[in-house]
């Protein structure tokens, strides 16, 4: 397989359609389809499955494209530096659960990097997708947490996917609610106190279970439950519905003024917040900068 064919695979995956990829690449659709068949034959796997909407990556294809992306990026770095005499364009991607501190650390990392050419990606997504992104080498690292309820299952999933979890810090569970919520004056809140109010949580798609949930104690039954897909929505629902969510307590006040408060949850558990990496991979220099920024931001919020 050639480098050009590998670049074709990346464009097809991005477009989700051989037809659209062919237009992007200014080549005929039969030629592009032929290139796919050649690569699949040589790799001895099926990279794309055909569907009515176009094409989708198979599980094997996702893993294959993770390695392809690394090869193509390294070649582009080589061409930029030694052939085109350009400054090297760096790529760095983080997949993370919906943590404000993870986004703020990302901002600091970009600011500290300071070079003119880069492609940085911050992907706030579902827990299972974080694992897939790192396993398939789309993301350099993934940010998530372990607790008493999910640790055994997630560590098994990490092992099956050749990933290692590195703990950064622990955080006591806190309840997030609006500042004039009926429970807002409490020094500590119990799970029983929360029963009359809507529980807010992030959608996990096909992996809706307490093991993949971003919120602690999601295995506890709730009469009222609202699931959302982004941080802005969950804040709006805290304010508009007297809803609550349970997370780390690390929440920069300057983002929402005093409209949201965090109150300790009276339970015997902690969140082990950390990152996952492929076992055969070390933190890149950008990864080290990001983790340093993440740790510094955590210290500021405690």
Q: What is the pLDDT of residues 71-106, one digit of tens each?
A: 887 787 777 667 776 666 788 999 999 998 999 999
Please give the full DSSP string across 160-201, using - where no structure is assigned: HTTEEEEEEEEE--EEEEETTSTTTT-SSB-HHHHTTSPEEE
Q: What is the pLDDT of residues 200-253, one digit of tens each?
A: 999 998 888 889 999 999 888 889 999 998 888 888 899 899 999 998 877 655
Average pLDDT over residues 148-158: 95
- Residue at 73 is within a domain: no
pLDDT category at 302 given cuts 50, 70, 90 is very low
- Distance set, CA 205 to CA 129, 154, 208, 212, 229 (Å): 10, 17, 6, 10, 10
pLDDT at residue 150 tops 90: yes
Sign of CA dihedral 184, 186, 191, 197: negative
Same domain, 88 and 230: no
Domain extent for 295: 83-169+272-301
pLDDT at residue 156 tops 60: yes
- Residue at 120 is within a domain: yes
Query: By C-alpha distance, which of 273, 253, 271, 274 is closest to 262?
Result: 253
Average pLDDT over residues 14-18: 89
Same domain, 261 and 294: no
CATH (domain of 279): 3.40.190.10
Q: List phi, psi (to 5°) of 261.
A: -125, 155
């Amino acid at each position: 397989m050639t480098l050009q064919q590998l670049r074709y695979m990346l464009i097809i995956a991005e477009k989700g359609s051989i037809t659209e990829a062919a237009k992007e690449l200014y080549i005929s659709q039969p030629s592009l389809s032929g290139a796919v068949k050649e690569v699949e034959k040589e790799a001895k796997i099926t990279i794309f499955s055909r569907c009515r909407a176009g094409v989708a990556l198979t599980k094997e294809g996702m893993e294959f494209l993770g390695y392809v992306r690394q090869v193509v990026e390294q070649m582009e770095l080589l061409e930029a530096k030694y052939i085109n005499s350009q400054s090297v364009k760096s790529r760095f991607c983080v997949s993370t659960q919906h943590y404000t501190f993870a986004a703020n650390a990302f901002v600091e990392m970009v600011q500290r990097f300071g070079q003119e050419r880069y492609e940085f990606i911050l992907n706030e997504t579902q827990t299972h997708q974080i694992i897939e992104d790192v396993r398939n080498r789309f993301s350099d690292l993934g940010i998530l947490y372990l607790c008493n309820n999910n640790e055994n299952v997630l560590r098994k999933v990490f092992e099956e996917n050749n990933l290692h979890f590195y703990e950064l810090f622990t955080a006591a569970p806190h309840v997030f609610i609006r500042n004039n919520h009926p429970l807002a004056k409490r020094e500590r809140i119990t799970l029983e106190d929360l029963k009359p109010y809507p529980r807010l949580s992030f959608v996990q798609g096909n992996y809706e279970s307490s093991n993949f949930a971003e919120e602690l104690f999601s295995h506890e039954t709730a009469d009222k439950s609202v699931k959302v897909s982004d941080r802005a929505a969950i804040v709006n629902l805290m304010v508009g519905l007297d809803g609550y969510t349970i997370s780390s307590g690390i929440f920069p006040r300057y983002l929402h003024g005093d409209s949201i408060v965090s109150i300790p949850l009276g339970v015997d558990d902690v969140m082990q917040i950390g990152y996952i990496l492929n076992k055969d991979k070390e933190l890149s220099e950008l990864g080290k900068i990001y983790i340093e920024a993440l740790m510094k931001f955590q210290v500021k919020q405690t």
